Amino acid sequence: MTSRTVNVNGTALGVESFGAGDAPLVLLAGGTTMLSWPDALCERLAAGGRRAVRYDLRDSGTSTTTDPEAPAYTLRDLAADAAALAGLLGGEPAHLAGIGVGGMVAQTAVLDHPGAFSALTLIGTRPVAPGPPDADLPGHDEATMGRLFARPMPDWADREAVAEFAAAGAEVLGDDPATARTAAARIWDRTPGTAPSVQMANQLGMVFSRLDCGPRWRERLPEVKIPALVVHGRRDRFFPLGNGEALAREIPGARLLVLEEAATAIPDAAIGEVAEAMLALGR
């Protein structure tokens, strides 16, 4: 694994690359930080001959941080960043993968920049922006969201408090608390400066509640002409399975892979299955 910073569209992006294959696979973060993509999955993709590249979105990790509380960019700017990064990697068009809200950016990227990408993987996401979903899509599980957001915020400058907060949230969502605790501690370590509350909260994905995500893109999904894979957890309470099913219906020829024991995150036991499905895409 190698780390570096690249400049695209007037901003610096912190990037980590796994493998040295000619075929690039760009991994769009869930929330904002690259660590939403497990190390083990990146390593499996690299072992399969791909050059897996994960990166921090703007205002997170080692990427440019300006004002996470009032982002001066849109979801489509993030999509343009993904396309520009793919172009810098050289070689053939990139396989683009997005997880969680990063999947929303990925959908927009392949629609707005079709020549930059050769395949699309969407994991645990939905075909509309944050906020109330379309009437035919299942929304967040209300009981789960009530428990999740009723918790008091931690002291964001306290590494252990932040890690425990993330672990407790994972338990509510049905994900592995130990994995979430470790990831949150790593995110804290990579947060700029002394981890003030706004920056650290942003590392856990809260920027999307403040981001301009218009205009709609769902009606354009039939325009996707590249091979697509939709991966979704059967137990996902944040974006319930009906969202992944809708994506697979509306993207021509998309394959739906349902992870029976998964919630919002990719569990360790499913990493091999997800990696193989991603590696097979477009072969």
> Which residue's structure tokens are 């919002």?
264
Nearest alpha-carbon partner for 241 in 160, 167, 138: 138
**15-49: pLDDT as tens digits:** 999 998 888 999 999 877 899 999 999 999 999 99
**Which residue from 193, 218, 215 is spatially nearest to 203, judged by alpha carbons?**
193
Give the DSSP letter of residue 74.
B
Residue 206 φ then ψ, to 5°: -80, -10
Instruction: Pick the closest to residue 264 from 88, 72, 36 (CA basis).
Output: 36
Spatial distance between the Cα atoms of 38 and 42, rounded to a whole number of angstroms: 7
What residues does each domain of the chain span?
2-139+194-280
Please indicate, yes or no, whether the overall pTM of this predicted structure exceeds 0.85. Answer: yes
Helices (H), the chain: 39-47, 75-89, 101-112, 142-149, 159-173, 177-190, 197-203, 241-250, 271-280
Q: What residue has token string 């299955």?
A: 273
- pLDDT at residue 195, as a whole number: 47
Q: Could you tell me if 253 and 19 are in contact, meaning their C-beta atoms sit under 8 angstroms apart?
A: no
Reading the block at residue 57, the tokens are 């979105």
Which parts of the chain sit beneath pLDDT 50? Answer: 194-196
- Give dist(CA 29, CA 275) in Å, integer: 16
Distance from chain centroid for Cα 53: 13
Q: What pLDDT sits at residue 120?
A: 98
Distance separating alpha carbons of residues 98 and 114, to the nearest angstrom: 15
Residue 271 in tokens: 């990493």
For 89, half-sphere exposure in the C-beta direction (CA atoms, 13 angstrom radius) is 32
pLDDT (tens digit, 9 = 90+) per residue, 199-211? 566 655 567 778 8
Integer Cα distance of 199 and 67 in angstroms: 8
pLDDT at site 283: 62
Closest to 116 measured CA to CA, from 81, 83, 89: 83
The CATH code of domain 2-139+194-280 reads: 3.40.50.1820
**How far, in Å, CA of 157 to CA of 191, rounded?**
10
Number of residues written out for the chain: 283
Query: Around Cβ 103, how many Cβ atoms within 10 Å?
Result: 28
**Residue 106: per-residue pLDDT:** 98
